[in-house]
Amino acid sequence: MKKYFYILFFLFSFSFSDLINPENASTLNYIHVLFEWEQESYASTYNFQLDTSLNFNNPIVDINNESLIYIDTENINWETTYYWRVRPVDINGASGEWIDTLSFTTGSTRSNAYSINYNDNQYSNGVTIFSSFFNYYSAMIDQNGDEIWNTGSSELVYYNTDFNGQLFGCQLDNSLEHNIPGVEFDIDSNILWQEPNEDFFHHELIKLKNGNYLGLVEELQPGPVAPGPWSAQFQAIGYLADGVTPELFWVGDRIVEWDKDTNEEVWSWSVFDYYSMQDYDIEGETWYQAFYDGRYDWTHVNALYPVYDENDNIESIYLSCRHLSRISKVNYESKEIDFNLGREMASGDVNCGEDIGFSFPHSVTVLDNGNIVTLDNGNLSTLWLDTEYSTSRALELSVTETENSCEASIEWEYSLPEELFGFASGNVQKLDNGNYLIVTVGDGGTALEVNTQKEHVWEGKLNLQLPNGAVYRASRLSGLYPISYSVILNDAIIENNNNYLEVLNNDSVANFSITIYNEGSSAEQFHWEIGQESGDTEYLNPGENFIINNNQNLFTNQELLSLGQITISLTPKNRIDLKKDITINFIEVQCDGEFDCSGECNGDAYLDECGQCMCGLNSDPDLYECDDDDECEQGCDGEWYSDLSELPIEDECGICNGNGITEGFCDCNNNIL
């Protein structure tokens, strides 16, 4: 009978209870639910049941599951109480006792969103997360427009994600001087990190590959009231408005990198240091707004995108500057601007892209090929592009850097219809299947999926507020649980939360293995370390598993008994914070019979004529060092060979390993005919 040990971890804290997640009597703000439990000794599979009745007379779900996680995406509804339980099933199909029975209740929906499916076959798989700035909440909907997650009563606004399960945004907190601090949060609306709140944070928060956080804060410096049609209004209330005298605060932006542990600022970049104050908007009515606000919203940077080198060090940062209608690439090390793309202004600092004509852009991402994807809000499209009405566009731009300059062109574009014009916020995401998700405040907030032929595939109607719903951003995620996995230590005994393997006291190569199950909705690769050895698994698609064993012959049984225990480390490549160290304790077991050649007590593996250890009918090559593919053959010289490329055979003249009839001869006696 096989014995198993489990290791399990995801976005939740490791628990020593038998049933781990959801916690008993918890309230969940989602209906795609991940269930997890500890492994039982002697279990081959687990019987999982879910019901709305504590009696389980007619379970909604009744399945046998090989691993330690089950994710239900189809059977759970909002505002309902559920009960769940798990029991082990051994290799012979016999069920053990129920480990426990727990309950949970689902909360209420937050949105009134729905969807329109134009082409099911071209939909890029996953769920769509969006956020609302008027109501301060975030939610996810599936392809059918059904809400599957929200932030509950927490006033969290989604900004960004790493697409691997980490969520970033802001939280309304009116007790603070700066009332929408940047935060990292999880699907249960727990705050995992918050920026220091020393300045007004806005628009963007990104977790860098080094673990630090990158975001935007306001920075104010005095400047003049620029000359223009608005000058008389300013002069009427006492300003000189001469274009020279610094008498009005200009609001700029500073990019800040915060240390993940100390929250200290470790790097920053200010628009006041690298943009010219000769450049400002004169057509978008920002100066008229300044008259009412008492300060000038100069740059309004609204998006960042870091690019890394081959060693995962930041190489550059792209930024979207709304009020200068500009996208800039900043060298991280020197802080100098590599190029400015967009509308030329008085300084002459723009290098390329003026003919593209985007205005008041929002969002910026950089594809693997270097192309830039952005949303052109198009506030000035009637002036700059002579459009019939104010038109927002999704743009993919090809940019080629030249010496001290650049060249830019439109690789792909889609102009939204008039009713979907988005004067503010929004974004564009290029999806895994090549489609584009275009997000706009138009028509109450809309997320529109369009294919490369500009055909509508799917439309999410977010119903936030008419005519312009304050959707900030939306993104297509692979699922609510992109990276989730469980690990089983095969043949283990679990006692008091310790993991034991029985080891024979001999010098045979030790047989131990672990099985990794990818439970998440995204493909993932895992890095493993055993002693001084390490390696990587192949990429595992959702639902696949991978076995790591002692096939490097790292340890003999006696070495393991001498060590007493070893630690196996596993790290998901895209979520290093989910690293898990598995400690295995080894106990000696005596064999009451004989060891076979694979090291199994009373096993039926055998040595073939070549001296190879071959698996018997009951041997498991994944657990023991035996071969189930016998390639041993006897040569004409009477010897046995395992390398068949070296196997000697008789030639046509009957000579062992002979040359046969050579060129110029016609018989085996070398007689020329």
pLDDT value at residue 14: 32
pLDDT value at residue 659: 77
Any domain includes 626: no
Do residues 13 and 34 share a domain? yes
Express each pLDDT in 364-376 by its tens digit: 999 999 999 999 9
Do residues 163 and 206 share a domain? yes
Rounded to an integer, what distance in angstroms lies between the CA atom of residue 95 and that of residue 42? 11
Is the backbone peptide bond immediately before 22 cis, with ω within 30 degrees of 0? yes
Any domain includes 556: yes
At residue 240's C-alpha, the angle toward residues 239 and 241, to 5°, is 90
Q: How many Cα atoms are found within 13 Å in the side-chain-facing hemisphere of 598? A: 27
* 71: pLDDT strictly greater than 50: yes
pLDDT value at residue 590: 72
Non-local (6+) Cβ contacts of 605 within 8 A are 596, 597, 598, 613, 614, 615, 616, 619, 624, 626
pLDDT value at residue 467: 62
- DSSP string computed for 484-497: -EEEEEET-EEETT
Express each pLDDT in 482-506 by its tens digit: 999 999 988 878 887 788 888 878 7
CATH code of residue 303: 2.120.10.30
pLDDT value at residue 7: 30
Express each pLDDT in 602-657 by its tens digit: 888 888 888 888 888 877 776 667 887 777 888 888 888 888 888 888 887 888 88
Do residues 92 and 135 share a domain? no
Which two three-digit tokens encode residue 395?
């743009």
Any domain includes 673: no
Rounded to an integer, what distance in angstroms lies between the CA atom of residue 179 and that of residue 492? 52
651 or 161: which leads in pLDDT: 161
Q: Which amino acid is at 200?
A: F
Any domain includes 368: yes
Lowest mean pLDDT among 275-279, 323-327, 483-487, 666-670: 666-670
* 414: pLDDT strictly greater than 90: yes
Domain boundary among 588, 613, 644: 588
Express each pLDDT in 165-181 by its tens digit: 999 999 999 999 999 99
Beta-sheet strands, E only, within 393-455: 393-402, 405-415, 427-430, 436-440, 446-450
Any domain includes 658: no
pLDDT value at residue 403: 87
Express each pLDDT in 84-109 by its tens digit: 999 999 989 999 999 999 999 999 99
Do residues 434 and 500 share a domain? no
- DSSP state at residue 576: G
Band (6; pLDDT cuts 50, 70, 90): very low
Are the C-beta atoms of residues 225 and 231 closer than 8 Å to each other? yes
pLDDT value at residue 670: 65
Q: How far is CA 442 from CA 363, 469, 472, in A?
A: 16, 7, 12
What pTM, to 2 d.p., does this model score?
0.86
Average pLDDT of the chain, as a whole number: 91
Nearest to 4 by CA among 624, 483, 486: 486
* 673: pLDDT strictly greater than 60: no
Q: Provide the domain limits for residue 213.
A: 114-477
Non-local (6+) Cβ contacts of 466 within 8 A are 443, 444
**Helix, strand, coil proportions of the chain in percent (round to 5)?**
5, 45, 50
Do residues 363 and 471 share a domain? yes
Domain boundary among 560, 588, 616: 588
Do residues 88 and 134 share a domain? no
Do residues 94 and 178 share a domain? no
Do residues 553 and 584 share a domain? yes
Band (413; pLDDT cuts 50, 70, 90): very high
Any domain includes 488: no
Any domain includes 666: no
Rounded to an integer, what distance in angstroms lies between the CA atom of residue 272 and that of residue 266? 19
Is the backbone peptide bond immediately before 246 cis, with ω within 30 degrees of 0? no
Do residues 441 and 503 share a domain? no
Any domain includes 472: yes
Express each pLDDT in 212-266 by its tens digit: 999 999 999 999 999 999 999 999 999 999 999 999 999 999 999 999 999 999 9
pLDDT value at residue 15: 31
Do residues 320 and 461 share a domain? yes
* 4: pLDDT strictly greater than 80: no
Q: How many Cα atoms are found within 13 Å in the side-chain-facing hemisphere of 298? A: 26
CATH code of residue 559: 2.60.40.10
Do residues 448 and 531 share a domain? no
Domain boundary among 556, 588, 620: 588
Do residues 95 and 135 share a domain? no
Q: How many domains, in total, are found in the chain?
A: 2
Express each pLDDT in 461-472 by its tens digit: 999 976 667 899
Which two three-digit tokens encode residue 18?
């038998």
Band (672; pLDDT cuts 50, 70, 90): low
pLDDT value at residue 622: 62
